[in-house]
Amino acid sequence: MSQTVAVLDIGKTNVKLALFDEGRLLWEKSAPNRVLPGSPYPHEDVESGWSFFLDALREAARTHRIGAIVPTAHGAAGALIGESNLAAPVMDYEFKGIDEIEPDYAKLRPPFSQSLSPKLPAGLNLGRQLAYQKWRCPDLFAKAKHFVGYPQYWAWRLSGVAVSEVTTLGAHGDLWLPRQGQVSSLVGALDVGHLLPPMRRAFDPLGPIQPDIAAATGLAPETPVFCGIHDSNASLLPYLVSRQAPFTVLSTGTWVILMSVGLSLDQLDPRDDTLANVDVLGRPIACGRFMGGREYAVIAGGGGNPDIDAIERVIASGTIALPCFSGQGGPYATTEGVVRGEVAARDRAALATLYCALVSDLLLTRMGATIGDLIVEGTFARNRPFCQTLGALRPTQRVFGAEDAAGTARGAAMLAQWPPSYLIAEPSPIAPISISGLDSYRKAWTATVDRIV
């Protein structure tokens, strides 16, 4: 039966409420997501987000009958919750002060061979955040009844039901063993097992919204709340039900997450920032990542997409961008990005596009993702020269573009009826093109980055 699903989409940059009916976007509203400075560490502006969602749900409910709510949120965030409120603020994963615990945390972190979770900068390992909160904020930590992933925090706030969920625990957090499908040794080493509520699946209904939320928004009191999902995994859902493995989805936004379904995990290497995430059914998925959206903005000096003529001008000039322009993510996160050569202001977006395509190509090769279709989803799907350049770099693989600004939310909406009974929209094929000088340009770029230690 058709129903309108409201998705709470909590990204690093924006928060959004989007309504869907069998995959069709009906309504959406967004606002900037903020990080608050100060004690005890920089943290998510949860209350502003909560106010936004209540207002947006109230507005949407005036014209749509909402039949279900599903949250999705970025990774590397979790919430210590008490009886009815947060026990501690939700840490911003870019908090660099967390580095002070690294000598002690390194003794507890499970090896990559078990966790398939590399050591990441700042708070990108969720277990590292949890250790910092326990060791540096003991008074707040002592108030915690549960520790939940960020999507499940919003589900708890809506329904009052606290649960754990595998796509969030399995997202480079050091807390999960993807091959074994169980929590890692870190949970015992930190003595936090009692804080993890029961496991539920992302598509499980937890219960109805709480009465005060129904009263504040005008939603029906019986409106169910679903467990929710890590946002990159939400982007993957449409393809899990519509494609045969092997294939790779490039989920693009602030981060570029490359998720290869049906690929061996044997070539994953923590030095490359390749790792395993866990899909909605609990299966390990080979992944690579870099902060492509942020790096693109730095190199391009703003927004906008280039054309192929601009790509070829940059190639002809020999100007190259070398990683890394974000200070986190990817195989060269610890090196400082630099542009070698001169580039006209009008061609900076072309240089950024080439850079992001080359890093994506490098990660695909190192992951062993040399067969199967490549589906570009999110921000970069609307940058056609990026898709064309990626296709030219990897001529034996077909490239598709899912030009859908609501791709993550659309995937999350599927959880309210899993597996979906409706047809999934197919991404558009990107016609192969030849780009003059690209092969030589890639060889020069690769030879230079190979010398980066």
The dihedral of CA 329, 76, 179, 377: what is its sign? Answer: negative
DSSP 91: B
User: Span 316-321, mean pLDDT?
Assistant: 98
Spell out the residues 6+ positions from residue 425 whose beta carbon is closer than 8 angstroms to its own. Answer: 23, 238, 404
Spell out the residues 6+ positions from residue 31 whose beta carbon is closer than 8 angstroms to its own. Answer: 14, 15, 16, 48, 52
pLDDT at residue 1 above 50? Answer: no
User: Span 155-177, mean pLDDT?
Assistant: 97
Alpha-carbon 93 to chain mean position: 13
pLDDT at residue 149 above 80? Answer: yes
Which band of pLDDT confidence, cut at 50, 70 and 90, is reported for residue 302? confident
- The predicted pLDDT at position 431 comes to 95
pLDDT at residue 132 above 90? Answer: yes
- The predicted pLDDT at position 75 comes to 86
User: Coil, helix or strand for 118?
Assistant: coil
Which band of pLDDT confidence, cut at 50, 70 and 90, is reported for residue 205? very high
Query: In this structure, which amino acid lies at residue 306?
Result: P
| Tokens of residue 306, six digits | 């280039």
In DSSP notation, 251-285 reads EESSSEEEEEET--STT--GGGTEEEEE-TTS-EE
In DSSP notation, 281-308 reads TS-EEEEEEE-HHHHHHHHHTS-----H
- The predicted pLDDT at position 453 comes to 64
- The predicted pLDDT at position 303 comes to 65
Alpha-carbon 44 to chain mean position: 16
- The predicted pLDDT at position 374 comes to 98
Average pLDDT, the chain: 95
The dihedral of CA 289, 294, 298, 300: what is its sign? Answer: positive
What are the phi and psi torsion angles at 49 (to 5°)? -60, -40
pLDDT at residue 32 above 60? Answer: yes
User: CB pairs under 8 A, 24+ apart, for 317-320?
Assistant: 317/341, 317/342, 317/343, 318/441, 318/444, 319/343, 319/351, 320/355, 320/441, 320/444, 320/445, 320/448
| Tokens of residue 122, six digits | 């700042």
- Nearest to residue 171, comparing CAs of 229, 132, 130? 229
What's the rounded Cα separation, in Å, for the pair 323 and 362?
A: 12
Query: In this structure, which amino acid lies at residue 363?
Result: L
What the chain holds in terms of domains, given with CATH numbers, is 4-227 (3.30.420.40), 232-449 (3.30.420.40)
Query: In this structure, which amino acid lies at residue 11?
Result: G
User: Span 365-379, mean pLDDT?
Assistant: 95
User: Span 358-364, mean pLDDT?
Assistant: 98
Residues in the chain: 453
- Contact (Cβ atoms closer than 8 angstroms) between residue 118 and residue 273: yes
In DSSP notation, 15-58 reads EEEEEEETTEEEEEEEEE--EE--SSS-EE-HHHHHHHHHHHHH
- Contact (Cβ atoms closer than 8 angstroms) between residue 367 and residue 258: yes
Q: How many Cα atoms sit within 13 Å of 281 on the Cβ side?
A: 9
**Could you give the residue ranges of the DSSP H alpha helices within 40-149?**
46-61, 102-106, 112-115, 126-136, 138-141
**Bridge partner residues of 398 (DSSP):** none
Rounded percentage of the chain residues whose pLDDT exceeds 70: 99
Which band of pLDDT confidence, cut at 50, 70 and 90, is reported for residue 425? confident
- Contact (Cβ atoms closer than 8 angstroms) between residue 287 and residue 366: no
Number of other CB atoms surrounding residue 297 within 10 Å? 17
What's the rounded Cα separation, in Å, for the pair 44 and 34?
A: 6
pLDDT at residue 355 above 90? Answer: yes
User: Span 152-180, mean pLDDT?
Assistant: 97
User: Coil, helix or strand for 183?
Assistant: strand
Residue that is written with structure tokens 């070398």 in the block: 322
pLDDT at residue 198 above 80? Answer: yes
- Nearest to residue 351, comparing CAs of 325, 323, 321? 321
Element housing 321 (H / E)? strand 320-322
| Tokens of residue 383, six digits | 């940058």
Query: What tens digit of pLDDT does each residue of 40-59 get?
Result: 999 999 999 999 999 999 99
The CA-based angle 129-135-136, given to 5 degrees, is 85
- The predicted pLDDT at position 406 comes to 79
pLDDT at residue 187 above 60? Answer: yes
Which band of pLDDT confidence, cut at 50, 70 and 90, is reported for residue 28? very high
- Contact (Cβ atoms closer than 8 angstroms) between residue 17 and residue 60: yes
User: Coil, helix or strand for 82?
Assistant: coil
